[in-house]
Amino acid sequence: MTNQPIIGFLRTGIKSECIGCGACAQVCAHGALKMSEDLEGFRYPVLVEELCVNCGLCNKVCPEENDISKYHLRQKAFGGYAKDEGVRCMSTSGGAFSCIVDTWCKDNYVIFGATGNGIDVYHSHITDKAEIKRFRKSKYIQSKINDTYKDVRIFLKEGKNVLFSGTPCQIAGLRKYLELYRVDTSSLLTVEVVCEGVPSPLYVKKLDESLLRHYGGTISNLDYRFKDGKFDYIGRPFSPTRKGRWDFEVMRILLSNGKKLKKDRWFNPFWSIWLQHLMNRPSCYACPYATQKRVADVTLGDLWGVHIYCPELYGGNGGSSVIIANTLKGREALRAASIGMVGHEIEMDDVIRFQGPLRRCIPMNPQREAFMKDLEDRDISIEEINKKWANRPSLKLILSKYIWGNHQKVRLWNLKHKFSGK
């Protein structure tokens, strides 16, 4: 065992102590740390002892080892959706991310975000916002961060305006990295997504293998939350004024042989297994960023609870966003973005009430170890995993989603308002 001043995780081997931000690997000028996948598919630093010069930089840059300041004093929340229906339809929630990019990135800018086909997901940058669709849509696995912190440092030094988006742990890694090099961050805007944790990439890999066996093609694109714009929520054919099906999002898979598959949100084993907290990264169960205090200038999420506390922002089931400005810079970005949106300021108390990840981290399912053992077992197919571990939706859930769902509640609210003349 080495006695070098390496990061805690490498000393203890306790996986929950590594968030996988990759700052240590990027800071190491000697290539002594490489990010590598473990059996569960999560990436961790691995030390090449003979290359380590004992400089201790990895220890200094690690956000798990060093406290990071969090913001909350100037928080302001905004609920709403993009005026441009096309943008809204192509985004996960209400298209807030695109509205921020559109107004904040004026000139001399670089935008970082997560891209990829849904099973191979990685961070990258663009210098033309016309390419923003590469970053749109939540890909629900941890993206490979590659050398993007290094790139941000270079771009900031060159005087560019940088917008960096990612999960809170990735923002924490970036901030620690830039702090270490004392980089001036006045032209950096950090944008994080509210994060319930990242699931094991092994699940979608196994799904991919099964699709190849059954349909003769591998996944070329996986849209975790495809808004099927074909029909609106009561089955009327799509029209430009009635887009989106946010409550009924399906997982849409495009295969290499051109086949298309769709799986309804409420009958999809992926969501059932993930949301039972059976396959998250170990550090997600102890996430230091699952709190009201945030690490980024701006936080983006779904406007959960919209049908209860601000039904006027539901906007026909096309998707709604919450934007939280955590700093003065965040407020400026929010103010500018809101021009391209339908929406208004909302209370932080309401936001927090409906956003679990702003209150506490997810609990680990006591069955996680048994589940992951099955998932890692090459002799157990994804069909067997689903049968054993996924819950079928209860009758109550089916009734509440399809018969008396949020969209009906909002329609009733609209009717009441119409007749009360308010």
Ligand X SMILES: Cc1cc2nc3c(=O)[nH]c(=O)nc-3n(C[C@H](O)[C@H](O)[C@H](O)COP(=O)(O)OP(=O)(O)OC[C@H]3O[C@@H](n4cnc5c(N)ncnc54)[C@H](O)[C@@H]3O)c2cc1C
Of 194-202, 244-252, 268-276, 380-388, the window that binds ligand X (rule: CB under 6 A) is 194-202
Closest by CA to 114, choosing from 41, 169, 34, 177, is 169
Closest by CA to 127, choosing from 95, 154, 92, 166, is 154
Nearer to ligand X, 57 or 297 (CB): 297
Angle, vertex CA 326, rays to CA 320 and CA 327, nearest 5: 135
Pick from 22, 41, 80, 166 the residue near ligand X by CB under 6 A.
166
Of 133-141, 252-260, 289-297, 341-349, the window that binds ligand X (rule: CB under 6 A) is 133-141
Minimum gap (Å) between residue 67 Cβ and ligand X: 23
Closest by CA to 103, choosing from 327, 334, 343, is 334
H-helix or E-strand spanning residue 52: none
91 is a contact residue toward ligand X (CB under 6 A): yes
What track of x and - describes contact with ligand X for positions 37 through 56 (by CB under 6 A)?
Answer: --------------------
Nearer to ligand X, 326 or 355 (CB): 355
Minimum gap (Å) between residue 409 Cβ and ligand X: 19
Scan residues 281-320 and list those touching ligand X (CB under 6 A).
300-302, 304
Minimum gap (Å) between residue 304 Cβ and ligand X: 6
How far apart, in whole angstroms, are the C-alpha atoms of residue 421 and residue 191? 40
Minimum gap (Å) between residue 83 Cβ and ligand X: 13
Of 29-37, 173-181, 189-197, 231-239, the window that binds ligand X (rule: CB under 6 A) is 189-197
Q: At what angle do helices 368-376 and 382-389 cross, to 10 degrees?
A: 160
Minimum gap (Å) between residue 31 Cβ and ligand X: 25
Of 160-168, 207-215, 260-268, 362-370, the window that binds ligand X (rule: CB under 6 A) is 160-168
Angle, vertex CA 294, rays to CA 88 and CA 81, nearest 5: 15
How far apart, in whole angstroms, are the C-alpha atoms of residue 231 and residue 198? 31
200 is a contact residue toward ligand X (CB under 6 A): no
Pick from 103, 138, 148, 338 the residue near ligand X by CB under 6 A.
138
Annotate 331-360 with b (16+ C-beta within 10 A) or e (fewer): bbbbeebbebbbbeebebebbbebbebbee
Nearer to ligand X, 91 or 283 (CB): 91
Angle, vertex CA 271, rays to CA 169 and CA 81, nearest 5: 65
190 is a contact residue toward ligand X (CB under 6 A): no
The number of CA neighbours under 13 Å toward the Cβ of 145 is 33
59 is a contact residue toward ligand X (CB under 6 A): no
3-state secondary structure of 201: helix
162 is a contact residue toward ligand X (CB under 6 A): no
Chain position carrying tokens 């900031």:
156
How far apart, in whole angstroms, are the C-alpha atoms of residue 243 and residue 233? 9
Pick from 77, 194, 334, 362 the residue near ligand X by CB under 6 A.
194
Strands (E), 106-217: 109-116, 121-126, 161-166, 188-193
How many residues line the site for ligand X (CB under 6 A)?
Answer: 35
Pick from 75, 124, 143, 280 the residue near ligand X by CB under 6 A.
143
136 is a contact residue toward ligand X (CB under 6 A): yes
What track of x and - describes contact with ligand X for positions 342 through 361 (by CB under 6 A)?
Answer: -------------x-x----
135 is a contact residue toward ligand X (CB under 6 A): yes
Pick from 78, 97, 266, 270 the residue near ligand X by CB under 6 A.
97
Pick from 20, 22, 113, 168 the residue near ligand X by CB under 6 A.
113
Nearer to ligand X, 10 or 195 (CB): 195
How far apart, in whole angstroms, are the C-alpha atoms of residue 124 and residue 374? 33
Give first-to-last CA distance, the chain, whole Å: 71
Chain position carrying tokens 């961790």:
44
Nearer to ligand X, 32 or 324 (CB): 324
Pick from 9, 42, 104, 140 the residue near ligand X by CB under 6 A.
140
The answer to whether the CB of 324 falls within 8 A of the CB of 346 is: no
Q: How far is CA 340 from the centre of its chain?
A: 22
Nearer to ligand X, 193 or 202 (CB): 193
Q: Which residues of this protein are in contact with ligand X, per CB under 6 A?
A: 91-98, 113-114, 121, 135-141, 143, 165-167, 191, 193-196, 198, 300-302, 304, 321, 355, 357
